[in-house]
Amino acid sequence: MDKEEIIKEWIKYAEMDRETVNILMTSHNKPYEIICYHCQQTVEKYLKACLVLYDISIMKSHDLIELNSLCEQKNEDFKTIEKECFDLTDYAVQTRYPFHKFELTEELTKKAIQDMEKVCKFIGNLLLKKEDNKDE
């Protein structure tokens, strides 16, 4: 599998998490913890696609701050999504188990979705630019 195929595969799986968020938000009893978890997972996979893009080894980490920092070393524009990565990072593990430290509300969940969408847009635009430059 070449680099481009690997990136596409990471994005494909990220988009499955993103679609899960959209589906769960239409539920009568919205599972906020699971929705926030999938927001984090979407961003994690998008960032790992960028690690592939920049030829950085993918580590087993759910820490969006760490993953974003690695990307930022190759492209300082990643600084623009630092806050969103910080805000979403704790949803990776904490929300998947009972007795977590969060009291998640619809408002916090909508914020997680906004953060996810900002990162997806940023990285999507970045990948499109790379694709456009490749054709020149």
Q: What was the pLDDT predicted at 89?
A: 95
In this prediction the pTM is 0.92
Residue 66 φ/ψ, nearest 5 degrees: -65, -45
Nearest to 86 by CA among 57, 47, 49, 59: 47
* 98 DSSP 8-state letter: T
Query: Tell me: the pLDDT tens digits for 81-127?
Result: 999 999 999 998 776 666 666 688 999 999 999 999 999 999 999 99
Q: Does residue 54 surpass a pLDDT of 90?
A: yes
Mean pLDDT of 33-56: 97
The two structure tokens encoding residue 98: 């009972």
Which amino acid is it at 89? Answer: T
Q: CA torsion, points 57, 59, 50, 92, in degrees to nearest 10?
A: 180
DSSP one-letter code for 100: -
3-state secondary structure of 113: helix
- Predicted local distance difference test score (pLDDT) of residue 134: 64
Instruction: For residues 44 and 42, give the distance between their C-alpha atoms in angstroms, rounded to a whole number.
Output: 6
Summarised one tens digit per residue, pLDDT across range 17-34 is 999 999 999 999 999 999
